Amino acid sequence: MNTKEKDSKYIMHTYGRYNVALKSGKGAAAFDEDGKRYIDVSSGIGVNSLGYCDEGWVNAITAQANTVQHVSNYFYNEQPSNLAEKLCTLTGLSKACFGNSGAEANECAIKVARKYSFDRYGEGRNVILTLKNSFHGRTVTTLSATGQDVFHNFFFPFTEGFKYAEANNLDDVKNNIDEKVCAVMIEVVQGEGGVVILDKEFVQGVARICKASDILLIIDEVQTGIGRTGKLFAYQHYGVKPDLVTMAKGLGGGLPIGVCLCGEKLDSVMSPSTHGTTFGANPVVCAGANYVIDKISDEAFLNAVEEKGAYLEKKLLALDEVKSVNRLGLMVGIEIDGDAHDMAEKCVANGLLIITAKALLRMLPPLTITAEELDEAVTILEKTLKENTK
Ligand SMILES: *Cc1c(COP(=O)(O)O)cnc(C)c1O
């Protein structure tokens, strides 16, 4: 059996896969099992932030694997300590909690928010308001947090205590706030929802409403964080100060990690045995993340992300077949005529690894992608669009 046949036989069919078995990669180029080369503007859904097999990153994780690969959370280790220090220093937030995925980081934020409210106000003030069209993960609780009916199926009963307001509608947020609400959780750019960039007035309005009633503001930066939008975190475009920030995808540079950061007000909410995970804070993963953060937090690196994004947007808008582009940094949604998923499959066949978000094509290229590689990506996209649109 080949890879595809084995996958079909032995792996649960929770994903519709493209017809490609990826074998290796370097920078923004990926290679399949037959050695065919692809330009990858998906970077594993924004995970391979420095591209495939960045030399410094490989050295960092290899060195750590040769030193100690895992210590339990009952012991100290320099890698997570250093990473937490960097993340707190760079954001002005106060403490980190480590996990292994975006959903887990959000679970942690939800637990911290509810415990803060329980400690301070007692039982019953536990509702978390999220936005319609949001995406916060696949665990039973983060599915509840996700404000899309299609996700609220099959797996009943879902976790109680979530309400949903319309994005960019401050009145709807106000109408949903009552004495039971302890937190509001938002993505400032809804990634899975179709690269929907929230209005500045809306996000600032939500922050104001939260502050007035000691309601915690949780920003889900799982997709938008770690330089993706041209700032270290996307909320930094909005001039707000969240109480909790979650991150995951791009942070490990390709290894699984999720982090929940909290501000000073919350830094003593969690105590021993209120939360934990066996694999969280893994030294090899944190060594990779330390390398990624050192690279990406550089001002010039972040400015280059925005410059590349602007360059890409201009080239995309010059294509007749492109109707519009939603973009912040290198987080890009592309509106086309016709079915985006079908077009994505055709792009892949033509050598461009691209994904979709709702009805849009979506690009989340490695942040290190070069102008030549972006040119190559747009050329393949253009060719594919021309072949398939009348
Ligand atoms: C991907 C994503 C998640 C879930 O992350 P996992 O690592 O898949 O659990 C949560 N929130 C947002 C905004 C995401 O894009």
Write the pLDDT tens digit of every residue in 291-345: 999 999 999 999 999 999 999 999 999 999 999 999 999 999 999 999 999 999 9
Write the pLDDT tens digit of every residue in 250-303: 999 999 999 999 999 999 999 999 999 999 999 999 999 999 999 999 999 999
The percent of residues in the chain predicted with pLDDT above 90, rounded, is 99
C-beta 252 within 6 A of ligand 1: no
d(CA 223, ligand 1 centre) in Å:
7
Buried b (16+ CB within 10 A) or exposed e, 191-221: bbbbbbbbeeebbebbbebbeeeebbbbbbb
**What is the Cα Rg of the chain in Å?**
21
Q: What is the DSSP letter of 128?
A: E
Closest residue to atom 15 of ligand 1, CA basis: 223
pLDDT given at position 390: 65
pLDDT given at position 389: 78
Distance between CA 68 and CA 52 in Å, rounded?
24
C-beta 187 within 6 A of ligand 1: yes
Mean pLDDT throughout 238-256? 98
C-beta 102 within 6 A of ligand 1: yes
- Mean of pLDDT over the chain: 98
Write the pLDDT tens digit of every residue in 17-48: 999 999 999 999 999 999 999 999 999 999 99
- What is residue 200's three-state secondary structure? helix
pLDDT given at position 200: 98
Atom of ligand 1 nearest to the CA of 187: 13
Structure confidence at residue 199 as a pLDDT band (50, 70, 90) = very high
Ligand 1 site-directed mutation target among 223, 229, 245, 358, most atoms within 8 Å of CB = 223
Nearest to 257 by CA among 218, 234, 285: 285
C-beta 222 within 6 A of ligand 1: yes
Atom of ligand 1 nearest to the CA of 249: 7
Are 103 and 137 a contacting pair, CB within 8 Å?
yes
Write the pLDDT tens digit of every residue in 94-153: 999 999 999 999 999 999 999 999 999 999 999 999 999 999 999 999 999 999 999 999
d(CA 245, ligand 1 centre) in Å:
13
C-beta 107 within 6 A of ligand 1: no
Ligand 1 site-directed mutation target among 136, 185, 186, 226, most atoms within 8 Å of CB = 136
Cα–Cα distances (Å) from 53 to 28, 61, 372, 376, in that order, read: 10, 11, 19, 20
CB within 8 Å of 177: residues ≥ 6 apart: 129, 209, 213, 215
Ligand 1 site-directed mutation target among 249, 257, 260, 364, most atoms within 8 Å of CB = 249
